[in-house]
Amino acid sequence: MIAELGHFALILSLCVAVAQSTLPLAGAARNHAGLMTLGSAAAIAQFFLVAISFAALTHAFVVSDFSLKVVASNSHSLKPMIYKISGVWGNHEGSMLLWVLILALFGGLIAGFGRNLPPPLRARVLAVQAMIAVGFLLFLLLTSNPFERLYPPPANGNDLNPLLQDPGLALHPPILYVGYVGFSIAFSFAVAALIEGRVDAAWARWVRPWTLLAWSFLTGGIALGSWWAYYELGWGGFWYWDPVENASFMPWLVGTALLHSAIVVERRDALKTWTILLAILTFSLSLIGTFLVRSGVLTSVHAFAVDPDRGVFILLLLIIAIGGSLALYAWRAPTLKGGGLFAPISREGALLLNNLLLTTAAATVFIGTLYPLLLEAVGGGKVSVGPPFFNATFIPLMVPLVAALAVGPLLAWKRGDIMGALSRLKVAGAVTAVALVLCAALAWGRPILGTIAMGFAVWLAAGVVTEIAERIRLGRIPLRQSLARAGGLPRSAWGMALAHIGIAGIIAGAAGATVWKEEIIHVMQPNETMEIGGYTLTYDGVQDSRGPNYLTRKGLFSVSKDGEPVTKMYAERRRYLVGGQQTTEAAIYSTLAGDLYAVVGDNDGQGGQTVNVYYKPLVPWMWIGSTLMVLGGFVSLSDRRLRIGAPSRKRRKPAAAQPVPAE
Amino acid sequence: MTRKRLRLYAVLSGLAMLGIATALVLSALSDNLVFFHSPSDVVENSVEAGQRIRLGGLVEEGSVARSDGTVLFAITDMKTTIPVRFAGIVPDLFREGQGVVADGQLDGKGNFIASEVLAKHDEKYMPPEVADALKRAGHWKEGEGPEGASYK
């Protein structure tokens, strides 16, 4: 009964979305206030209806209602509660429902917090948002109905893929989706601006916080996925340039470019058509990502059940959305008036360079991801494009980006002084040189590439510190005044500094983990020891035990350093009772200097166990760096300048009148 | 700085970037493209030893053996079988009779030296028509090849 209610609510939300996608548009064209406000009411109604539907599905998972097909094939009554709930989005139908829920949530947020938007713009944005919703609701209802009944209902379910039964992965999809789908707002704003034929600083001020919000979540989602791959899959890596990883990385790259170009629109009223294009491309890449992982073109843990109809349907949606918006762009963009001028060496110029490099990098990733599909489609044989391709194309493009990243923020708007900026970076340059020498000495005999990467990381971090020090005039005025200035810096300045320092952390961690890693594969007998990364690892044998829904064999290790015991750790091989699948749980001992990482394989029948041990220097810096990036996004989001249009409770209370920024 | 000149600079730098990207992509593609072959392909097309390829098929029943950290097994498409050596830990879903893709090269003596072994993530997520075909013919249907297998 509850499931039928959910199904009904979903159908109803489709009707509401159809109304929302048309009537406000007509209202905006005829300047009819009633029709325009209808958009907001419809957006909120649509959100509540989809939320009811989602709640109904969650209920079915929580009570293990196996008469629903998705529950029966993806859940089990023995499963811990958290995985029953995460099972809601651990399957194709439920994850698409989550997608639509987040889409509707963003529509509702615009309706709720967008009261100070000009009514025609708001009406158009909500209408575009609803058009996307119509497409995806149709997709859900026609090809992937989550409320499909099963008769007769089975006594128990098939269980969730054990790899997905992990706390990190319970959170990964919702966070990633908020990022993916959050870019729909930038897209809707871009399309609405094209319809209106007007883009100005106020528009950019509107788009930026939403983009920033989506970007922060996408960054967090990707980092979480990478972290999961690192500790759960047991292959010791964190990024494989797998098509599904690239699917989330491409919108991230272009979204990062959008984030930066929107600053130029906001501050200098320039790069307008380019920013519109980036907004369209970012969401288009989100859609392509959804297509890649959901259509079954690629089989992976993300591609759940595969049904050719679904692929065709998403492809159709993709063509309509991307083709339509790009056609609109080609038609309307030339009518947008150009904005402020700037010299090539200027903050705008630096941000443009950032944009060019990021979009070019996204293009190379795009080619690498889709080339095998294209080649196969034209009968050119089956190929795979692996990590070497991406390393050979992506890294060379990131080198100038990172090198320039330290300089860009020191350039003035409109006309910058490159020599002045470089002379202010003298200290940063000296620090980098010292770090390079130190690194080379410490890592003598190891690949020089690692040392170079560390140099870039230090250069970037020192550049960020220089920028902040310049702004607070550190060392040139009394410290107390400098600190007062630091307190007075806008939050967005701190946000930028955090995010950029985060990149330095990621560079250091990624380089340490790949270039400087040590690896040993060996069949170990109990009490045998091995030396790796300065640690002595003793294998203590195996121990069998039982988890809530699996049996596990633990390989026990004692770790010591210079004769002193450091820690004990264990790696597991789990066998899940319901599906019989096997999973590997790595043993990880993590310090700031690096991770000791061990995985146990099969036993050789004589008491020995295949053991794969890695020492990966600096890995935690990658996770710290990603966290700083996300944090930077949120700190920046809390900047007062961006409050206009961003979710903010204070604005809505009449008592706490917030100073409204000029413009 | 006039508007025209600014546009010129922007277009030129965009084109330069495009050129760099094209050069990078082309050189990387020519070096790093890995072709997928079934065991029969390998024999029929006489793939050269030392060339990096992906070999896909089923793990032959009864072929898996282990010696000091090295896993020995055979990949078959029910017509041709090629012995494979892999030093490392095979993925969780590696099993006799299951689909597998190995990345590596031939050693010239008819053996395939794998540097990576990728197994399908989960039998449950295989396309139903492939699973059916597999059951009917006892055959891993070629056509669900390299990008089908993945670590993730």
Q: Do A306 and B125 touch (CB under 8 A)?
A: yes
Of A242, A389, A521, the CB nearest to B152: A242
Q: Is-contact A140 A10, C-beta < 8 A?
A: yes
B89 contacts in A (CB within 8 Å)?
234, 521, 584, 599-602, 610, 612
Helix, strand, or coil (residue A140):
helix
Residue A534: how many other CB atoms lie within 10 Å: 12
Where do the structural domains in chain A lie, given as residue ranges? 1-160, 166-333+349-403, 425-516+621-647, 518-617
Q: Would you state the pLDDT for residue B133?
A: 34
Looking at chain B, how many residues does it have?
Answer: 152
Looking at chain A, how many residues does it have?
Answer: 663
A305 in reach of chain B (CB within 8 A): yes
Give the H or E element holding residue A154: none
CATH of segment(s) A1-160: 1.20.120
A299 contacts in B (CB within 8 Å)?
120-121, 125-127, 144, 147-150
A243 in reach of chain B (CB within 8 A): yes
Q: Would you state the pLDDT for residue A297?
A: 63
Q: Which residue of A has its CA nearest to B56?
A: A382
Of the residues A74, A239, A610, A612, the best mutation for testing chain B's interface (the one with the most B CB atoms within 10 Å of its CB) is A610
Q: Which one-letter DSSP state was computed for residue B108? A: S
CATH of B35-148, one of 1.20.120.1760, 3.40.50.150, 2.40.50.140, 3.40.50.261: 2.40.50.140
Of A242, A299, A382, the CB nearest to B36: A382
Class of residue A640 by CB neighbours under 10 A (exposed 0-12, middle 13-18, buried 19+): middle
Q: Would you state the pLDDT for residue A388?
A: 85
A529 contacts: CB under 8 Å, gap ≥ 6: A536, A537, A538, A539
Q: Do B33 and A385 touch (CB under 8 A)?
A: yes
Of the residues A70, A300, A307, A584, the best mutation for testing chain B's interface (the one with the most B CB atoms within 10 Å of its CB) is A300
Q: Which one-letter DSSP state was computed for residue A320? A: I
Enumerate residue ranges in chain A where pLDDT < 50. Answer: 299-305, 645-663
Across B70-76, average pLDDT: 87
Q: Would you state the pLDDT for residue B131?
A: 38
Q: Would you state the pLDDT for residue B144?
A: 38
A349 contacts: CB under 8 Å, gap ≥ 6: A342, A343, A411, A416
Q: Would you state the pLDDT for residue A385?
A: 81
Where do the structural domains in chain B lie, given as residue ranges? 1-32, 35-148
Query: If you count residue pairs, one on A and one on B, with CB atoms under 8 Å apart, how many are there?
Result: 167
Touching B: A residues 186-225, CB under 8 Å: none
The pLDDT of residue B127 is above 50:
no
Q: Which residue of A has its CA nearest to B68?
A: A523
Q: Would you state the pLDDT for residue A646?
A: 43
pTM of the model: 0.89
Q: Would you state the pLDDT for residue A446?
A: 85
User: Cα separation of A568 and A576, whole Å?
Assistant: 25
